[in-house]
Chains A and B, each alone.
Chain A
Amino acid sequence: MAGIQISSVAKRFGAVAALNDVSLTVGQGEFIALVGPSGCGKTTLMRIVAGIESADAGRILVGGRDVTRSRAADRDIAMVFQSYALYPHLTVAQNIAVPLAMRRLSGADRLPLLGRFLPGAARRRAAIAQDVAAVARSLGLEAMLDRRPGQLSGGQRQRVALARAIIRRPAAFLMDEPLSNLDAALRVQTRREIVDIHRAAGVATLYVTHDQTEALTMADRVAVMMAGRILQVATPEEIYADPQDLRVATFIGSPRINTLAAEAGADGVVRLAGEAVGLVATPGPLTLALRPEDLWIAESGIAATAEAVEFLGESVLLHARHASGEPVILRLPPEAPRPRPGTALRLGFDPARALLFDAAGRRVAAHAPAERALV
């Protein structure tokens, strides 16, 4: 299978395990976003795939070829760095041409003056210049080919970095938070462009980010990573609606998913502060997790006190507090009545959308009980 295959990779820095038996497959033409909080090991994993860092254990396959022991230059991978890593002394055109020059020209060809007079060098250089012009055109960089990176804006530098990555048609792209140095408006626009470039190239792309919005909007599949482990790999929809781990549920979604301590009794009925909530699960302590948009103000249900209201335009956030002291956030339509702070509320929810996690944070099945089990 083509694309990138990462199998059982481990990496330690001294006593710290940065990566713990990480496996992930990026299919041919697939875009996977690797998302997680800073320090979770996602950049380390990317650098290991790139060949800049070596793994302590495990294997890396690119395009079906085992590259675990290959040097970065021999892996047929291109990478876009967070800092863009452009060569400051080269013009935009020269920067974009570097990957081709390194592969198509010999060391002697690249000598400053002598190189021009070697047989075939002129022809090879002309071919490179043509390729550079084509890539520059596709990214709208023609006007700045003779400038230096220092004379470009952040967005333009980012494009140059992208151009340098795509010019040699690698088997896979790696992108290390390429949007984190752009302002918010440009980020939204560039998100789309990167996805388009990925589609046009049709190669496996591994995209590292700490920004869940980027991950959800751009990726075919999202891999959530924490503390050196990949917790779940799934489509954005599944990651959001069907998280398999409490840490995934709390990391993805803004505002954060509401979590309430609950318990399933010996009869399996899930109770929140002693009140049955209309769910049945295996007995034991549980966490009940509910997205803000899955809660509403009802006649009966979870008892809470309203605290504050935030108007967001397309919706309103109601900050409330559960009787146990845990905060609860509701996303309400903007036209909904807004309770005054201090009002006692009852919150309803659809049991089918409620998520239950066991004491270890693993997702457990929640069933709607038979009619008579409802108290």
Chain B
Amino acid sequence: MSDAVLPLRRAAPIGEALAGLMLTAPAAIAYAVMLLLPTLAAVALAFTDYELGMPGFAWIGLDNFSELLADRGFAVSLRNTVIYVGIVTPLSIALGLGAALLIEAGIRGRALFRAVFFLPVVSLTVAMAAAWQYLLHPTIGPLNAALRRLGIADPPFWLSSSDWVLASLAAIGVWENLGYTMVLFLAGLTAIPRELYAAAQMDGARRAVDRFRLVTWPLLGPTTLFVVTITLIRSVRVFDTVAVLTQGGPNRASEVLLYTMYREGFTYLRLGYSAAITLVFLVIVLGLVWLQTKALDRKIHYG
């Protein structure tokens, strides 16, 4: 009897495997062509001196990276990125959480406030940048007009002063990210059982801040971890506001990682060098993702 069954059994896995391969093929091919190959190409490029339009290239090993280490411009760009991320991430998380808590606690206008805060996320940054340029304009901008009316005779030139440009861009970054973190926190808040708040009240958590510390904050743990990583990655990726509003200026004061990469690659056409910067960026992002998975394994899920 087993003789009669075995050939069938043997035949089935081949057919199944084939079907499996065929079914995964579209996704696998798309992944390879769209993501894997370009990434590998960028990695390979990072070890060459290729420049766009040049007939050939040479493998130069780690020369691009040693040049990066010595490059003052790159150091400034890295430092600016860290400052930008250091302002945007904590602020957009704290404000997003605050907005989410207020909306959740509110009785009226929930949908309205949700939409208002989420609007920047869905709007086109390049288009909104024009509005920001007007708002922050040193002479005709409403912000400085208001400041002057408040008695500040000499308000800053937000986007054209090297002291203020990074802070101004960070403020726009917070405005962009806040809606996103808020929506994630709102989703996290709805997952907290109402009963726990009732229990906290019965247990003596009189003040809202007690209940926040006892219930809300710990139970938002997994959400917060996700929000932190996603916001870090989103703010490391800052590019469009810089490209549209300041082009890295004045005097490289707003030069950030991706803008430096763009400038090296598409203005100076040094694709090899640009790819080396991309690789640094990739390592940072992958590092953040790795940290997140580590933390997820370690903590904050309560089984």
Interface residues of A (CB under 8 A from B): 47, 50-52, 71-74, 77-79, 81, 83, 85-90, 98-99, 102-103, 107, 110, 148-151, 164
Contact = CB atoms under 8 A, between A and B. Distances in A.
Given A85-B198, A87-B196, 12 more contacts: A50-B198, A51-B202, A52-B198, A73-B203, A79-B199, A83-B193, A88-B219, A89-B218, A99-B203, A102-B206, A107-B209, A148-B303
27 contacts: A51-B201, A52-B198, A71-B201, A72-B198, A73-B201, A73-B202, A73-B204, A79-B199, A83-B193, A83-B195, A85-B195, A85-B196, A85-B199, A87-B214, A87-B218, A88-B302, A89-B219, A89-B302, A90-B218, A98-B203, A99-B203, A99-B204, A102-B210, A103-B204, A107-B210, A150-B302, A151-B303
A83 B197 CA distance: 13
Contacts of A89: 218-219, 221, 302
Given A98-B214, A102-B210, A85 B302 contact: no
B205 interface: yes
Interface residues of B, number: 23
Interface of B: 193, 195-196, 198-207, 209-210, 213-215, 218-219, 221, 302-303
Q: Which one of B196, B203, B207, B213 has the highest number of Cβ atoms from chain A below 10 Å of its Cβ?
A: B203
B195 A110 contact: no
Contacts of B201: 51-52, 71-73
B207 to A, nearest CB: 8
A252 B214 CA distance: 41
Nearest to B218: A89
Contacts of A110: 213
Nearest to A99: B203
A102 B213 CA distance: 11
A74 B199 CA distance: 13
Contact of A148 (B206, B209, B221, B302): B302
Given A98-B214, A110-B213, A150-B302, A73 B206 contact: yes
Contact of A77 (B195, B202, B302): B202
Given A87-B215, A87-B218, A89-B219, A102 B195 contact: no
A86 B210 CA distance: 16
Contacts of A81: 195, 198-199
Contacts of B193: 83, 85
Pairs A-B, 3 closest by C-beta atoms:
A102-B204, A150-B303, A85-B199
